[in-house]
Chains A and B, each alone.
Chain A
């Protein structure tokens, strides 16, 4: 929008000369002060938890007990981080949250890969090929994306038990693919549908078949969407709690589940600094993805948020 609140030239304000000549003096009106104040205060509210997380994780327990929550650490120590990583207790075992970290990685990589492949393939098929009932399938997929997981959990548990897969890495990867399908399909279908149809027709005239076009033409062109899809899936799967809890199996519990165990199931006095260190460790990957992805993250929201 044009500069409604304040004048909008790039010349220094109040540029000399008589009043009534040249650019209007740009005053910081009370309204503008108010806006900056509002933004600043809200920014502090948003940053507070991050700061507290980091600060607490670098303090000794004495400091935590004596001091207050926003004080800077006096005796900076990485002890809590080391403890959280390698010796915190997640229920029966006390091998630290690194177990959860590696489990999450084990779950993440195949899940992201498979869900993007299948999602993009499905999106591609729905956007170009007039298979009967395709639109219906797409509409159906978009509608069911709203249903809470609780409806599906028990039947799926039974189905996987029946298939002999039970709770395992394979199971959780399949589950993430299943529940990622609507969003991934939406993403790729909308993207492919926005590409000129001539591209596709030219390839067919050249003699390319379904999978050839997909692999050699469409996917290379879909790089922006692949980036967006990776961001969405990495964030979503890494942050997942309920599906990992139910389907991954005790040896493969993801970091989020382990984290909850560490913090909420401790006997005796809680080691708040270790807790916060463990929380930071879990939050690290999504934060890196977020701050590293710049505008892509917002693109991901825009693409995935517009359901249908």
Chain B
């Protein structure tokens, strides 16, 4: 469909316009990833060197208390955060879909936290969860002197505080995705269900939820990727504390790259994160490509 006269100059222009993207892919995405993985196989400490040491850094990594705690924290955080956000987001979408009044206002209220930075989220929740001045004090003032809500300063419960902040931030996003999915359901199916005499909850359970598979997947993947990236929230809310009770892998990498200056260990940690992400995302992408191909 091209005119011969313009073929050469336009094709050259098109190719050249893709140069930045190409460069980025090559240097940043492929090159950096490659180099980071390579670094993880060397004995680099303060400065990168090329001494190959096999998987030694990984051995050190997986016997490192701080790293293991980070991973444990992240898994716990991840499961709770994704589950709670999906459930809450879905319930909010269903509730709003019931032709409630003030729908626009409600949607604004639930979605605005998603526009906030994680730093802001972490700091404001840190304040709310402050035992001396925050919710604990509030409820005690209301006449419950034994009320305890000092999760944020206790090692065994601080991770739940992160979950709280995370869900507050992300549930609105899930709601928006679910609402779009719900609105895409043919009106006639609701009518048929009504004629069939199905109670509303049954329709949601047996018919709607199975139809929302794609929405759940999209929301799930988005949430999962932000789980692995978790950094700002941990730094701002608790800075990994108390102790190392809210350490997360991303923070581990950053600390070891810049403060502790152990490049080998840091890159090993980063590569471990990469492997995790790939093992989750690759099947998802594969499934989407196959679905698109079948259609």
| Residue ID in chain A nearest B267 by CB atoms | A154
A205–chain B nearest beta-carbon distance, Å:
7
**B209 touches A (CB below 8 Å):** no
**In contact, A260 and B119 (Cβ under 8 angstroms):** yes
**A149 touches B (CB below 8 Å):** yes
**A13 touches B (CB below 8 Å):** no
The listed residue (B18, B22, B97, B99) touching A6 by CB distance below 8 A is B99
**A226 touches B (CB below 8 Å):** no
How would residues 96 to 125 of chain B score, 1 for a CB under 8 Å from any chain A CB and 0 otherwise? 111110000011111111111111110111
How would residues 195 to 225 of chain B score, 1 for a CB under 8 Å from any chain A CB and 0 otherwise? 0000010010000000000000010011001
Contacts of A178 in B (CB 8 A): 24, 28
CA distance A298 to B172 in the complex (A): 10
The listed residue (B36, B112, B254) touching A151 by CB distance below 8 A is B36
How would residues 129 to 170 of chain A score, 1 for a CB under 8 Å from any chain B CB and 0 otherwise? 101001001011111101111111111101100000000000
The listed residue (B35, B125, B289) touching A49 by CB distance below 8 A is B125
Contacts of B126 in A (CB 8 A): 263
Known: A154-B36, A282-B120. A143 touches B141 (CB 8 A): no
**In contact, B117 and A70 (Cβ under 8 angstroms):** no
Known: A42-B110, A68-B141. A151 touches B115 (CB 8 A): no
**In contact, B138 and A1 (Cβ under 8 angstroms):** no
CA distance A302 to B183 in the complex (A): 13
Q: Give the interface residue-count category, chain A.
A: 35 or more
**B253 touches A (CB below 8 Å):** yes
CA distance A129 to B231 in the complex (A): 39
Known: A49-B128, A146-B277, A272-B133. A210 touches B13 (CB 8 A): yes
The listed residue (B118, B236, B257) touching A154 by CB distance below 8 A is B257
**In contact, A282 and B127 (Cβ under 8 angstroms):** no
**In contact, B177 and A305 (Cβ under 8 angstroms):** yes
Interface residues of A in 254-308 (CB under 8 A from B): 256, 259-260, 263-264, 272, 275-276, 279, 282-283, 286-287, 289-291, 297-298, 301-302, 305-308
How would residues 32 to 58 of chain B score, 1 for a CB under 8 Å from any chain A CB and 0 otherwise? 110110010000000010000000000
Interface centre among A4, A207, A259 (most CB of B within 10 A): A4
**In contact, B91 and A38 (Cβ under 8 angstroms):** yes
**In contact, B39 and A137 (Cβ under 8 angstroms):** no
**In contact, B1 and A201 (Cβ under 8 angstroms):** yes
Known: A151-B270, A256-B117. A46 touches B168 (CB 8 A): yes
The listed residue (B28, B95, B108, B239) touching A39 by CB distance below 8 A is B95
Interface residues of B in 242-289 (CB under 8 A from A): 249-250, 253-254, 257-258, 263, 266-267, 269-271, 273-274, 277, 281, 285, 288-289
CA distance A279 to B120 in the complex (A): 6
| Residue ID in chain A nearest B99 by CB atoms | A3
**A69 touches B (CB below 8 Å):** yes
Total A-B pairs, Cβ < 8 A: 272
Contacts of B98 in A (CB 8 A): 4-5, 32, 35
**A9 touches B (CB below 8 Å):** no
| Residue ID in chain A nearest B273 by CB atoms | A148
Contacts of B33 in A (CB 8 A): 147, 151-152
**A125 touches B (CB below 8 Å):** yes
Known: A125-B18, A279-B124. A286 touches B117 (CB 8 A): yes
**In contact, B118 and A148 (Cβ under 8 angstroms):** no
The listed residue (B113, B203, B253) touching A46 by CB distance below 8 A is B113
**In contact, B218 and A306 (Cβ under 8 angstroms):** yes
CA distance A207 to B5 in the complex (A): 9
The listed residue (A48, A118, A121, A235) touching B128 by CB distance below 8 A is A48
- Total B residues in contact with A, Cβ cutoff 8 Å: 109
B127–chain A nearest beta-carbon distance, Å:
7
Contacts of B20 in A (CB 8 A): 118, 122, 181
**A185 touches B (CB below 8 Å):** yes
**In contact, A260 and B235 (Cβ under 8 angstroms):** yes
CA distance A298 to B99 in the complex (A): 19
**B9 touches A (CB below 8 Å):** yes
Contacts of A272 in B (CB 8 A): 127, 133
* Stretch in A91-99, A217-225, A236-244 with 4+ CB within 8 Å of B: A236-244
Contacts of B239 in A (CB 8 A): 264
* Stretch in B60-68, B78-86, B185-193 with 4+ CB within 8 Å of A: B185-193
Contacts of A256 in B (CB 8 A): 117, 119-120, 232
* Known interface pairs A1-B190, A125-B18; 8 further A-B residue pairs with C-beta atoms within 8 A, sorted by A's residue number: A4-B98, A39-B106, A43-B106, A69-B133, A153-B254, A209-B6, A211-B13, A287-B115
- For this complex, 27 residue pairs linking A to B, each with C-beta atoms less than 8 Å apart, are A1-B97, A4-B200, A35-B98, A42-B88, A49-B121, A49-B168, A64-B133, A69-B127, A124-B17, A134-B18, A147-B277, A150-B249, A151-B271, A154-B257, A178-B24, A209-B10, A209-B13, A210-B9, A239-B119, A260-B123, A264-B239, A275-B123, A290-B111, A291-B112, A298-B176, A301-B176, A302-B180
Identify the A interface with B (CB < 8 A). 1-6, 8, 31-32, 35-36, 38-39, 42-43, 45-50, 52-53, 56, 64-65, 68-70, 118, 121-122, 124-126, 129, 131, 134, 137, 139-144, 146-156, 158-159, 178, 181, 185, 201, 204-205, 207, 209-211, 235, 238-242, 246, 256, 259-260, 263-264, 272, 275-276, 279, 282-283, 286-287, 289-291, 297-298, 301-302, 305-308
